[in-house]
Amino acid sequence: MRPWLDHTVLVTGGTGLLGGWLVQRLRSLGAPVVCLLRDTVPDAMLHEPGPGPLPVLVQGDLTDTALLERVLGEREIRTVFHLGAQTLVGVARRNPVSTWESNIRGTWAVLEACRRSPSVQAIVVASSDKAYGDAEGAAYTEDMDLRPVAPYDVSKACADLIARSYAATWDSPVALTRCGNFYGGGDRNWSRLVPGTIRSVLRGHRPVIRSDGSPVRDFLYVEDAVAGYLALAERLRTDPGIRGRAYNLSHEHPVTVRDVVELILAVADSELEPLVLGEAHDELPFQALDTTRARTELGWTPAVDLAEGMTRTLEWYARHLA
C-alpha cells in the first residue's frame, strides 16, 4: 500500500524545522504538496533537493480565509498539516498580539476553510507540550487539563481547544499532536538550544545556557516526529473515532538542558566550557510526555535516540555551515 501516492497535501509552516522535513518525506512518498508561506526563506529545508514532485508554493497569511478556501478547492487538498505558527517563546513575550493572531486566529481560519471544503479527509493540528502548563513534576498525559499562563503556551492551548471544538461540533476530521522539543538539521532559529549550541561549537565559541541548566525537557528527533504525524494522518483518514483526540509525541527520555549541551560538546569532541547565564528564571522546571496513546493507537515508536539524533544533527550543520 502507498497511502500518500498522488494524495494532495497542504502544509502550513513549511519553512519551519518540522515542516521542511515533512515536505521532503511526503515528496519521497509521491504526494503532491502545496505549502502556504508567509515569508520567503531561501535557506529553508523546504528547498533542499529531494525525490518526488516539487511543492507548489503559495504566498499568503494563515488568517486569510478566502485564500485558504481557494487553495483547498483549486488544489483539491485531501490532507492538511497545520504547523504554521509563531513558535518562539521570547517573541511571544515581546509581541503577544502577533503571536495570538498567528497561532489562534490562524488556527480557526484553517479549520473553517477545511470545514467548507468537501475534499479534506484529515487535518493534523500541531499543538505543543507547552499547552499543558505546569504539571508539578508529573509526565503529561493527554487527559490532563490544560493550564498554561505564558503567552506562547496560552496560544497553543487555545489552538488546541479550537481544534477539538471543530471535531466535536462539526465532526471535522481533525486530531492534534502535543510534542516535546524537536531537533535536527535545518533549524535556523539560533535562539533555540540545539541549533544555537551547535553553531557556537562549530565556530569555536562557548555555548550559552540562558537558564541555570537544570530545567528538564523532552526532545524528539525530527524524522521521528514526521513519522508520528504521518501515522496520525493515515489513521484519521480511516478511523472517525479518533477525531478530536490529542497524541503526545516524544522520546520519553527527558534530560536537563545542561545534559543536552554536554552531549553536543561530546559528539563534537570539543573541550569548550558552557557559559551559564542563569537568567531564565521563569521556565518550568520539568516537562515530560507520556506517549502510551501514540504507541498503542498509532503504532508509532521513535527510532532515533538522543545520541544518534544529535550526531546526525551535528553532521548536517557541519556540512551546511562550512
- Of the pLDDT bands very low, low, confident and very high (cuts 50, 70, 90), residue 90 is confident
Element (H, E) at 167: helix 151-170
Write out pLDDT tens, residues 303-314. Answer: 999 999 999 999
pLDDT of residue 43: 85
Indicate whether 188 belongs to any domain.
Answer: no
CA separation for the pair 68, 119 (Å, rounded): 13
Mean pLDDT value of segment 140-157: 96
pLDDT of residue 142: 98
pLDDT of residue 280: 76
Between 90 and 247, the higher pLDDT residue: 247
pLDDT of residue 274: 96
Write out pLDDT tens, residues 29-47. Answer: 999 999 999 988 888 888 8
- Of the pLDDT bands very low, low, confident and very high (cuts 50, 70, 90), residue 268 is very high
Mean pLDDT value of segment 51-80: 95
Is the predicted pLDDT of residue 279 greater than 90, yes or no?
A: no
Is the predicted pLDDT of residue 50 greater than 90, yes or no?
A: no
pLDDT of residue 52: 87
Write out pLDDT tens, residues 196-216. Answer: 999 999 999 999 999 999 999
Q: Which of 64-73, 141-150, 276-285 has the lowest mean pLDDT?
A: 276-285
The domain spanning residue 298 has which CATH number?
Answer: 3.40.50.720
Indicate whether 201 belongs to any domain.
Answer: no
Mean pLDDT value of segment 67-85: 97
Mean pLDDT value of segment 179-198: 95
CA separation for the pair 79, 77 (Å, rounded): 6
- Of the pLDDT bands very low, low, confident and very high (cuts 50, 70, 90), residue 177 is very high
pLDDT of residue 154: 96
CA separation for the pair 237, 71 (Å, rounded): 20
152 an active-site residue?
A: yes
Task: Cell numbers for 92, please give them.
Answer: 511571544
Indicate whether 315 belongs to any domain.
Answer: no
Indicate whether 36 belongs to any domain.
Answer: yes
Indicate whether 70 belongs to any domain.
Answer: yes
Indicate whether 99 belongs to any domain.
Answer: yes
288 vs 161, 178, 180, 211, 318, CA distance in Å? 21, 11, 7, 18, 30
pLDDT of residue 1: 66
Mean pLDDT value of segment 106-110: 98
Is the predicted pLDDT of residue 72 greater than 90, yes or no?
A: yes
* Catalytic residue of the set 152, 166, 183, 317: 152
Give long-range contacts, CB 8 A cutoff, 24+ apart: 91-94: 92/150, 92/151, 92/152, 92/155, 93/150, 93/151, 93/152
Is the predicted pLDDT of residue 13 greater than 80, yes or no?
A: yes
**Domain extent for 154:** 9-183+220-252+288-303
pLDDT of residue 281: 64
Indicate whether 62 belongs to any domain.
Answer: yes
Count of the separate structural domains present in the chain = 1
CB-based contact 171:115 (threshold 8 Å): no
Percent of the chain with pLDDT over 90: 91
What is the average pLDDT score of the chain? 95
Indicate whether 119 belongs to any domain.
Answer: yes
pLDDT of residue 176: 98
pLDDT of residue 53: 87
- Of the pLDDT bands very low, low, confident and very high (cuts 50, 70, 90), residue 232 is very high
Is the dihedral angle over the CA atoms 133, 134, 135, 139 positive or is it negative?
positive
